[in-house]
Amino acid sequence: MQIKKFLFLLIFLFSINISAQELSGLIATESRLFPESPLNDKQVGTYNLSFSFKPELYYELDNGDHSFLFVPFLRWDLNDEERTHFDIRELFWLYYSNDYEIRVGIRKVFWGVTESSHLVDVINQTDFVEDIDGEQKLGQPMINFAYIQDWGTLDLFVLPYFRERTFAGEEGRFRFPLLIDTDNELYESEDDKNHLDFAARYTNTFGDFDVGISHFVGTSREPRFIPAFSQGVTRLVPFYDLINQTGIDIQYTTGGWLWKFEGITRHSRAQRFFAFTGGFEYTFPDINGSGIDVGVITEYLFDDRDQQNLPSNPFDNHIFIGSRLAFNDVQSTDLLVGSVINHETGSMFLNLEGSRRIGESFKLNLRIRGFANIDEEELFYGFRKDSYSQVELEWYF
DSSP characters over 245-265: EEEEEEEEEETTEEEEEEEEE
| Torsion-angle region of 346 (φ positive above 0: left; ψ -120 to 50: alpha; else: beta) | left
Q: In this structure, are residues 319 and 300 in contact, taking their beta carbons and an 8 Å threshold?
A: yes
Closest distance of CB 292 from another protein, Å: 8
Report CA-CA distances (Å) from 249 to 198, 217, 262.
19, 18, 4
Phi, psi of 329 (to 5 degrees): -95, 180
Closest distance of CB 28 from another protein, Å: 11
Nearer to another protein, 158 or 211 (CB): 211
Closest CA to 367 of 335, 396, 394: 335
Nearer to another protein, 37 or 331 (CB): 331
Closest CA to 164 of 150, 144, 145, 184: 184
Closest distance of CB 382 from another protein, Å: 27
Nearer to another protein, 90 or 378 (CB): 90
Closest distance of CB 354 from another protein, Å: 14
Closest distance of CB 19 from another protein, Å: 17
Nearer to another protein, 323 or 328 (CB): 328
Closest distance of CB 113 from another protein, Å: 8
Nearer to another protein, 239 or 396 (CB): 396
Closest distance of CB 134 from another protein, Å: 12
Nearer to another protein, 123 or 275 (CB): 123
Angle at 279 between CA 274 and CA 284, to 5 degrees: 165
Closest distance of CB 110 from another protein, Å: 4
Closest distance of CB 200 from another protein, Å: 16
Q: Which residues, other chains included, contact 337 with Cβ-Cβ below 8 Å and sequence gap of 6+?
A: 322, 323, 351, 352, 353
Closest distance of CB 70 from another protein, Å: 14
Report CA-CA distances (Å) from 197 to 30, 79, 107, 192, 397.
35, 35, 15, 11, 36
Instruction: Give the strand pairing for 224-230 and 186-187.
Output: unpaired
Residues 73, 59: Cα–Cα separation, whole Å: 18
Nearer to another protein, 56 or 185 (CB): 56
**Which segments of the chain does DSSP mark as H helices, in order?**
2-15
Nearer to another protein, 97 or 231 (CB): 97
Residues 112, 275: Cα–Cα separation, whole Å: 14
DSSP state of 288: G
Nearer to another protein, 22 or 36 (CB): 22
Q: Which residues, other chains included, contact 273 with Cβ-Cβ below 8 Å and sequence gap of 6+?
A: 265, 266, 303, 304, 305, 306, 310
Residues 118, 204: Cα–Cα separation, whole Å: 19
Nearer to another protein, 274 or 362 (CB): 362
Binding site for another protein (CB under 8 A): 24, 26, 58, 60, 64, 67, 94, 96, 98-99, 101, 108-110, 113, 135, 146, 148, 153, 203, 205, 210, 251, 253, 255-258, 281, 283, 285-286, 289, 291, 293, 328-332, 357, 360-361, 363, 394, 396-397
Report CA-CA distances (Å) from 189 to 133, 167, 332.
28, 22, 47
